[in-house]
Chains A and B, each alone.
Chain A
C-alpha cells in the first residue's frame, strides 16, 4: 500500500523556519515508521536527518511525534496509522536538524536527580543483597530507556522547560525506592523544589506515551506522597 508521509523539516543552515515536506512511499502494512523514513532517506531525499540506533525499541534513539503522539519510530507499524503519516521532531527540545533534537536539556534534568547508587557503607563480601519484594518496588521504573518520549509529551515541560519532567522523576523513583540506596532524603529535597514533582499536574500524556509501559504518573504520585510524608 502507498502511504502519504508529511515530515516537519528544518535545516538551521538554510531555512528560516520549519516547513512541511510531502512524500509518497510504497510500504508493506507491517513496515515500521522507521522503515518508511529509511525509504525516504535512502531513495527519495538523502538530506533527511533522523536518529536511530538499535531499531528494535530498546536504545530509545528514534523517539518522535508521529500522528500527534510521541512514539518510537521503530515500534509503530504502518498498518496502525493508516494511509496518512505525519512525523515531527519531539516538542520542547531545540531542533538540530529535521527529526534530530538536542537532548542535552533532557539529560541535564536527568543528572539533577543524582541517577546513581549512593551508599557509603562498606560493601559486604559478595554483593548488596535485595529481597525479591524490595526489588519489586523498583521493577517498573528500572525499565526506563531514556528516550524522552514522556518528558516531551508533557504540556508542563513544553511551557518553559523548567520542569524536571517525567523521565528524571522516574529515574529519581528508581533510586529513592531502591533498598540499597541511602540518598533518598537528598533526592526528595531536590524533587520538593519548584521545578520538581509538584509541577506534575497528572495529565497522563507521559504514561500514555511510554514505549516501555511504565506507570509514570503513579511513580510521580509515589514521589509526591513520599515528600509530603517525610515533612509532616
Chain B
C-alpha cells in the first residue's frame, strides 16, 4: 500500500501547571495516498493535535514516535518547508487564516513564500481561485465576503501551493448551512477528480458520510476505524464518545430500540428512507 502519511507510536503531551497531560496516546495511523479519511472526535479528543502532528506543526513528544510524510520524518528540521508544501492545512476560523486584504494577494502568499516566479504565482492563483469558484472575487477584500466564501479563499491559498494532501481542521464549524455545503462539495471534488488526499477533522457525523474511511478518536486514542457504514452501524460507541449523531441515524437507532428490525448504518435522507421502507414493508403499495 502507498501511504502518504505514516504515524507510528506517536504520543503528544504537555505540562499544564506542573501536571503532565497526554493529548495523544501511543497512536498508530496510516493515511493512504488519494484517500478521503474523516477523523471524528468530540471537543478535546485530541483531533486538532493529531492534525497538527501530520504536517509537523507539532512534533511527537516521545522519542520513539515518528510521523513520516512521503517518507520524510517531521522531526527533520531541514525538510520543514517541503512537508508543509506537501501537506496543506486549513483551519476552523477563516478570518484568522487570511493574511492580505485583497483576495488574490492572499492566495498568492503561499506561492510567494515558495519563491515561485511572478508568472508562475499568477498562474497558480488564478487556477486555485477558479477551483474554489471564487475567481470573480479576486479583487475583493475578504472582509466583505461571507464566512463560506472566506473559507473557500483559505482553501485556495493552500491549493495554490499544489499540495498532495489537504488536512482540514473543522473547516465548517463556524459556517452557516450554505457555507458548509459549499466547502464540503469542494473538498469532495478535489478528492474525486484530482485524486487529492483528504483528511477531514470534524465532529459532524454527516460530513463523514462521503469519506472512504472514518477514524473515531476519543481521549487521544483510536477507538474504531473502518468504512462509514461500519462505523455508523455501531451507534452505541459513537454516542458513548459524545459525538453528534445526525437525526437520520438517530431515528433508525430509536426504531431499532423499539423493537423494529432495521439496519442503522445510514446517514443520508435517501438511505434512511430506504431502510425504513424496507423494515416496515412499505414498498409493496
Tell whether A and B belong to one assembly: no
Chain A residues close to B by CB (< 8 Å): none
Chain B residues close to A by CB (< 8 Å): none
